[in-house]
Amino acid sequence: TAFGKAKEKVPCVLIVDELDSLRIPYTKVYGYSSIASTGRNELHNRYLTASDKEYFASGVVRSVSVLALQRHSVSLYCPAKVRSFENLETELLHNADTHLMTNYFVDYNNPEVRKFVYTYRALFNPEPDSYAFHGYDSMKYFTRLCALYGREWYKKIPEYSERGLQTGFDFTFQGCGAVNHATMRVVYSPDFSVSVQ
């Protein structure tokens, strides 16, 4: 099922075009009042929302979470921005088996992340924020790139991919610059675990 709003056709059209090209069957729903009628009990139902508007995406998360609590087998795919919504409880993301794509995420179960946090605390006292992680990852990535390739490092950037503590690096040349395509899938599972894939 693909969710979108009539006024927000651009992201929804792109997603629908992709589903059509892959020949994946789906049902379009414009609004979340009829979510319960779209699912099929005998199947695992996957819901997708193209909107990152807080009032809309929060409503979809809540509705899919209710379906899960009613014993429907569901997964929700939505923009990473939903993690920052103040009026949305994390429990709802877990209930809906929510999958998010993001360019940055810190997995505090990773031993390397814990080591960085302890070292950062010892040196600077406060907790490291996203800027501290991003600075560390960027400096480590580009320093290694320069050490490997010297002055020609920029030409080799598409050949060297790496995953940092928070940010991934996977560049391709586009136009007059390079674009980072590294993304991570963050899954909020119904058992209240969070995994990064």
Coil, strand or helix: which one is 75?
strand
- pLDDT of 10-67, one tens digit each? 456 677 787 888 888 777 776 555 666 666 677 788 888 877 788 888 888 988 898 8
CB 166 within 8 A of CB 104: yes
CB neighbours of residue 110 within 10 Å: 12
**Confidence band, pLDDT 50/70/90 cuts, at residue 189:** very high
What pLDDT sits at residue 117?
Answer: 96
Tell me what pLDDT residue 101 has. Answer: 83
Q: What is the mean pLDDT of residues 67-90?
A: 87
- CA proximity to 8, closest of 49, 58, 51, 60: 51
**pLDDT of amino acid 5:** 45
Predicted pLDDT of residue 22: 85
Given pLDDT bands bounded at 50, 70 and 90, which one contains residue 9? very low
Q: Which of 59, 41, 40 is nearest to 49 (CA)?
A: 59
Average pLDDT in the chain: 84
Look at residues 44, 43, 63 and name the one whose alpha carbon lies nearest to residue 3.
Answer: 63
Distance of alpha carbon 27 from the chain centroid = 23
- Give the pLDDT confidence score for residue 39 in this predicted structure: 64
Token pair recorded at residue 42: 């005998």
Strand partners, 72: none
**Which of 17-31, 147-161, 176-190 has the weakest average pLDDT?**
17-31
Task: Label residue 123 by pLDDT band (50, 70, 90).
Answer: very high
- Span 76-83, average pLDDT: 87
Percent of the chain topping pLDDT 70 = 87
Identify the residue with better confidence: 84 or 112: 112
